[in-house]
Amino acid sequence: MIAPRRFLPSIPSLLALEAVDRLGSASAAALDLNLTQSAISRQLKQLEQQMEVDLIARDQMRMQLTPAGASFAKEARAILSRLAQASVKLRANPDGGSLNLSILASFGLHWLAPRLKDFVGKNPGITVNLQTHNLPFSFDAGTAQAAIHYGNRDWPGVDYLPLMPKHVLPVCAPELLDRPLERPLANPADLLDYPLLHLETHPDSWEQWFALHDVAADRLQGMLFDQSSAMTQAAVHGLGIALLPTFLADAEIAAGRLQLAIADDPVTLGEYFLVWPAEHADDYPLMKFRDWLLGQIAAEES
């Protein structure tokens, strides 16, 4: 529900307030907005009268916002930015709208991106805008309407669509193992004799993997990476053994850049989800994207 009209200031007055706060003077704000200095002053005066709050500290030699004015300007800046982004999206997608999707880089680039052409072909009026993130991630910090999440159902205030378990394999460059090619290690504990590569967002993955193989391994150390792609390249160049999701490991193994470090089946560490805030649940682009994802998952499972 929109607030009563008397609480909704005009966009020109908000622009004037934001510019004065950002640039520090009415003259600079006037130049930035291509207005006169008196026009800036009038907009601020009208805003004060409408809000019935002093926004300008008039006992100063130069124009300066009061604490209340500075706080209001910060809120106005965020609202104006979102309005501008919405206008750009509307102009770019007048038919079906767009979906701002925040993705985990490795999942988005290696699993989702190759399949997006199918979604675009079936939904030509919808544009999917991708932005990458690391964990932790918050919808409050950006413009995303949905996100790819990895882990557990421990994120309050969002709805979940399960996508797939995260199956991982320990892989390394063929030359790292001191043995003939295509001869992986047989004993999980033997991996402790080699450098292990770690992901910053999931630093305990190796401990979980060893625990599933009944191997005591606490406080493991090694190179730390913020992206799976960087860790993959480190493994390719022989810097250690990496735990990679199967959709990433399989491609590197097929290309001959990596091999299994141990002859073992993939293990499951967590799950991938599509998540979204409740207020975006009925967004048309998101609804179509969810339906399409369900079809992709069903096709893979069959």
Reported as a single tens digit per residue, the pLDDT across 244-256 is 999 899 989 999 9
Tens-digit pLDDT profile for residues 158-190: 899 999 999 999 999 988 986 555 567 889 999
Domain of residue 183 covers: 165-269
Q: Of the candidates 70, 38, 39, which has an alpha carbon nearest to the alpha carbon of residue 54?
A: 70
Q: What is the DSSP letter of 280?
A: G
Question: In this structure, are 12 and 70 located in the same domain?
Answer: yes
Tens-digit pLDDT profile for residues 276-293: 998 888 888 999 999 999
Question: What is the pLDDT of the chain when averaged over all its residues?
Answer: 86
Query: Residue 179's pLDDT is what?
Result: 58
Q: Which residues contact 261 (CB under 8 A, 6 or more apart)?
A: 170, 171, 172, 176, 177, 184, 185, 191, 194, 241
Q: Which residues contact 139 (CB under 8 A, 6 or more apart)?
A: 147, 158, 277
Question: In this structure, are 112 and 157 located in the same domain?
Answer: yes
Question: In this structure, are 178 and 256 located in the same domain?
Answer: yes
* CA-angle at 100, arms to 95 and 102, nearest 5°: 160
Question: In this structure, are 60 and 108 located in the same domain?
Answer: no
pTM of the model: 0.63
The residue among 65, 92, 119 that closes a domain is 92
Q: How far is it, in rounded angstroms, from Cα 295 to Cα 196?
A: 37
Query: Residue 2's pLDDT is what?
Result: 63
Q: How far is it, in rounded angstroms, from Cα 210 to Cα 218?
A: 9
Question: In this structure, are 170 and 262 located in the same domain?
Answer: yes
Question: In this structure, are 180 and 263 located in the same domain?
Answer: yes
Which whole number is the average pLDDT over 45-72?
84
Q: Of the candidates 184, 193, 258, which has an alpha carbon nearest to the alpha carbon of residue 220?
A: 193
Tens-digit pLDDT profile for residues 144-157: 899 998 877 877 78
Q: How far is it, in rounded angstroms, from Cα 287 to Cα 292?
A: 9
- From residue 204, how far is each of 109, 131, 199, 231 by CA, in Å? 24, 26, 9, 15
Query: Residue 117's pLDDT is what?
Result: 93
Question: In this structure, are 87 and 102 located in the same domain?
Answer: no
Better-scored residue on pLDDT, 88 or 28: 28
Question: In this structure, are 12 and 76 located in the same domain?
Answer: yes
Question: In this structure, are 260 and 288 located in the same domain?
Answer: no
CATH number of the domain residue 152 falls in = 3.40.190.10
Question: In this structure, are 169 and 239 located in the same domain?
Answer: yes
Q: How far is it, in rounded angstroms, from Cα 179 to Cα 33?
A: 69
Question: In this structure, are 114 and 253 located in the same domain?
Answer: no
- In one-letter notation, the amino acid at residue 91 is R
Question: In this structure, are 254 and 186 located in the same domain?
Answer: yes
Tens-digit pLDDT profile for residues 32-52: 999 999 999 899 999 989 888
